[in-house]
Amino acid sequence: MTSLREGNTPVVKREDYAAPAFLVDSVDLCFDLDPAKTRVLNKMRLRRNPAVAAQPLRLDGEDLNLARVLVNGEGSSFKLEGKQLVLEKLPEGEEPFELEIFTTCAPAKNSKLMGLYVSQGTFFTQCEAEGFRRITYFLDRPDVMASYQVTLRADKAAYPVLLSNGNLVEQGDLDDGRHYARWVDPHKKPCYLFALVAGQLVAREQRIRSRSGGEHLLQVYVRPGDLDKTEHAMNSLMASIAWDEARFGLPLDLERFMIVATSDFNMGAMENKGLNIFNTKYVLANPATATDADYAGIESVVGHEYFHNWTGNRVTCRDWFQLSLKEGLTVFRDQEFSMDMAGSVSARAVKRIEDVRVLRSAQFPEDAGPMAHPVRPDQYAEINNFYTVTIYEKGSEVVRMQQTLVGREGFARGMKLYFERHDGQAVTCDDFAQAIADANPDSELARLLPQFKRWYSQAGTPRLHASGYFDAEARRYTLTLGQSCPATPGQPSKKAFVIPVALGLLDAQGREIEGSARTVVLSETSQTVVFEGIDAAPVPSILRGFSAPVILEHDSSDAELLTLLAHDSDPFNRWEAGQRLALRRALAAVQSADAVHQPLDAAYLDAMRAILRAPELDAAFKELVLTLPGEGYIAEQLDEVDPQRIHAVREAMREQLAHALQEDWIQAFEAHQDNGAFRPDPVSSGRRALAGLALNMLCLAARENGNPVWPGKALQRFKDAGNMTDRVNALSALVGSGSALAQPALERFHALFKGEELVLDKWFALQAGAPDRGGNILPLVKQLMQHPDFHLRNPNRARSLIFSYCNANPGAFHRVDAAGYRFWSERVLEIDAFNPQVAARLARALDRWKKLAEPYRSAAREAIARVAAKADLSNDVREVVTRALA
């Protein structure tokens, strides 16, 4: 499907999709596992696809040594064309035939972590998207679904545990200290869901009986020594199973469901059928090593991968352009799961705010930059570059809007119809939306379906323009809603979207005006909503719950925002009002010609104080309100970005908040101390979060006045913290305020957690992400690269140091001397030589370079050009830098 080229990389286009010329009925794989040279015998039964004109069989392969090819047991002629194995003389007709391919590969040398690789002496696989071709020659595309049986053979002492998808049907010993296991997967699957694991592992086990009466064995496999960190993952798995049955009627369809953790993983986790493989980050937790955020991450990723069992595995994608069919939907499901687990209205809102924060701080910039692409892209050079926040998070919002338009029950009906129609198939985003609409024929979604689907085809973040007019005489309030969407690469003009806008009106005292709440479906470029019988100018609360992934442009007055912040019945918009107030002040200070000085006024500070003191509000919510918009989010609002100026303004705002609210921070810190056993529930994690922010603020305030009391308290808390959340919050209060006590605390932290990989990641990340004071962070990052615990080849470690600096610390990264950019280009090239996927993620750090003010802009372009100038770049990095320079 190679047609055009981008730079010099071949581009794959969605419109070129053609059904496969051959179908694979069954695959029988036999592995002789050896790190240096693994032998793979692949016996397939294939047939010609009767729907497609006769053509040669082209199998994908990568980094394989081909030894032998047999067709129906006989030697056969074949060609190698590029990376493909081409068989021209195959039996005619529709009868199945047997194809045997014998290859070898070198898992120990596989530094890309795609296909079969070795991590700390254990074999793992990662096949999505196109890793299976690194294991054997195959029709490596998701619309080819086959039955698999797998035999694993390996040295018994070195690899006592042998796992693959499905059910274990046989195992035994072989000669020479080797043993074998045979696995049969009862479900057909695309090859990207294949997995094997072999090594020294132990499992936490749980037998469960599901609602429908089925019995299942659940296992969480980890390295010996990590078993005490698996309880939360197992609990999350059991909760996920119960939730999917209760909410969507989707049961576990396997007798055995396994999760295996590895330290070397490019992404978060992978939903291989019955054998999920996880980054240790999303499995291992105990109170001493994991924070509340880690616990929440585990719950959502365990849920996410489990939910893929239906949305992704039972119904999969026709081609990789449809990736959001499974990812957007499954993120939506994991978000809903976490919200349902959180329980209270307030805890649900906290989760929603956190999700929106990710969307706005990561996906909105992506949608405004050189890598902008529709939720269903039209083309790619490297599919791994499209596992993006757009496919995942915006994709989830597109599913959420469908639920909003048909209602919660209507959506469950739509899901049911989707599975009735498509179980066992490889389908498209269109098929999904069609099922939701068809199950709700009287809904707005059904009425507007073709237009609604523009969310799948048009990139860019739409603007929602709102303006209100109050006619006192007529007692009428008219709200005009309009929309527009900026151009994105390849899409100069956009058509109107279908935007569900949840809204309501408050009166001047902040009381909800009865009957005003509704969801308006905006489908025109402009529409008006009329409210009759309104006695005084109301305060509109627009886009409640963030009912659509858009930028709301409404110039509400400060007074209106303060009313919303204090009174809105919608907690999301309460939080949002606070963010808008802060953003307005940040932007004014950034854009003023004066030196940065006290950007916050009394009205804002008083409002924040009131929130902090409000007895009816949860701590978690307060922490979110009191956290200022991030530097990246502030930058997105500007046409020309001076990262240093933004950093200085935000720091000044933080210091002001710290000083002005000092008494209240002390109160907040002291009122949120818990001494009981650690529980990661929303209430206690919220209390820890607020206490942590308070401590941060108190140390920041102490920095100016030199008062040693709070840094001393932070150090004490760091020392005797009963859990990692409190400990890391105390440490970051010291580091973040530049306290002299930070260094000894960091040393102590390192000594305490020497052997704990995931904790050491935090140690690196905290230092690389610290506020820059006089350009000290880059030299520190360079120095930490020399630390004996730093391993560039381990993705988690590379992310903890390099990404924390380049992608998450703008004030330190964007240096006037361009040294941050030089460091970035060197690392991109260095990592690309062994792991293109990780390198391409890092390469995205300068996506928004065109917005930068001088001297940053020219220096950034030069750094990207330096990367692009390298002749033998991977497709992954080539695509990112080519687009950036376009």
- The footprint of ligand ARG (CB under 6 A) covers 126, 128-129, 266-267, 269-271, 304-305, 327, 384, 387, 837
* Residue 270 binds which entry of Zn ion, ligand ARG, none, CB below 5-8 Å type-dependent: ligand ARG
Pick between residue 300 and residue 563 the one whose CB is nearest to ligand ARG.
300
The phi, psi pair for 316, rounded to 5°, reads -115, -170
* Residue 778 binds which entry of Zn ion, ligand ARG, none, CB below 5-8 Å type-dependent: none
Supply the minimum distance, in Å, between the C-beta of residue 142 and ligand ARG: 11
Can you read off the two tokens belonging to residue 645? 């100026």
* Residue 618 binds which entry of ligand ARG, Zn ion, none, CB below 5-8 Å type-dependent: none
Q: Is the dihedral of CA 401, 406, 408, 412 positive or negative?
A: negative
Supply the minimum distance, in Å, between the C-beta of residue 301 and ligand ARG: 8
* Residue 257 binds which entry of Zn ion, ligand ARG, none, CB below 5-8 Å type-dependent: none
Owner of token pair 């900026």? 486
Site size for Zn ion (CB under 5 A): 2
724, 289 contact by CB (below 8 A): yes
CA-to-CA distance for 275 and 166, rounded, in angstroms?
8
Supply the minimum distance, in Å, between the C-beta of residue 271 and ligand ARG: 5
Comparing C-alpha atoms, which of 371, 361, 368, 357 is closest to residue 843?
A: 371
Burial 742-778 (b: 16+ CB within 10 A, else e): beebbeebeeebeebbbbbbbbbbbbbbbbbeeeebb
Could you tell me the CA-to-CA distances from 77 to 21, 69, 82, 140 in Å, in that order?
19, 8, 17, 21
CA-to-CA distance for 79 and 73, rounded, in angstroms?
18
Supply the minimum distance, in Å, between the C-beta of residue 332 and Zn ion: 11
Q: Which of residues 327-366 bind Zn ion (CB under 5 A)?
A: 327, 330
CA-to-CA distance for 626 and 851, rounded, in angstroms?
28
Q: Which of residues 236-275 bind Zn ion (CB under 5 A)?
A: none
Supply the minimum distance, in Å, between the C-beta of residue 273 and ligand ARG: 12
- 478 forms bridges with which residues in the sheet? 469, 530
Supply the minimum distance, in Å, between the C-beta of residue 807 and Zn ion: 21
Other residues' Cβ atoms within 10 Å of the Cβ of residue 3: 11
CA-to-CA distance for 284 and 724, rounded, in angstroms?
13
Pick between residue 115 and residue 643 the one whose CB is nearest to ligand ARG.
115
Q: Which of residues 298-327 bind Zn ion (CB under 5 A)?
A: 327
Pick between residue 685 and residue 837 the one whose CB is nearest to ligand ARG.
837
To the query of whether residue 305 is one of the catalytic residues in this protein, the response is yes
Pick between residue 128 and residue 355 the one whose CB is nearest to ligand ARG.
128
Pick between residue 305 and residue 568 the one whose CB is nearest to ligand ARG.
305
Supply the minimum distance, in Å, between the C-beta of residue 383 and Zn ion: 14
Which of 62, 299, 305, 631 is catalytic? The answer is 305
- 476 forms bridges with which residues in the sheet? 471, 532
* Residue 739 binds which entry of Zn ion, ligand ARG, none, CB below 5-8 Å type-dependent: none
* Residue 387 binds which entry of ligand ARG, Zn ion, none, CB below 5-8 Å type-dependent: ligand ARG
* Residue 444 binds which entry of ligand ARG, Zn ion, none, CB below 5-8 Å type-dependent: none
Pick between residue 162 and residue 258 the one whose CB is nearest to ligand ARG.
258
Pick between residue 153 and residue 841 the one whose CB is nearest to ligand ARG.
841
- Which residues are CB-neighbours of 82 under 8 A, at least 6 positions away? none
Supply the minimum distance, in Å, between the C-beta of residue 580 and ligand ARG: 32
In this structure, the chain runs to a length of 886
Helix (H, G, I), strand (E, B) or coil at 12: strand
The phi, psi pair for 703, rounded to 5°, reads -60, -40
110, 117 contact by CB (below 8 A): yes
CA-to-CA distance for 563 and 569, rounded, in angstroms?
11
CA-to-CA distance for 223 and 210, rounded, in angstroms?
28
Pick between residue 330 and residue 882 the one whose CB is nearest to Zn ion.
330
The residues annotated as belonging to the active site are: 305
Q: Which residues here bind Zn ion, judged by CB under 5 A?
A: 327, 330
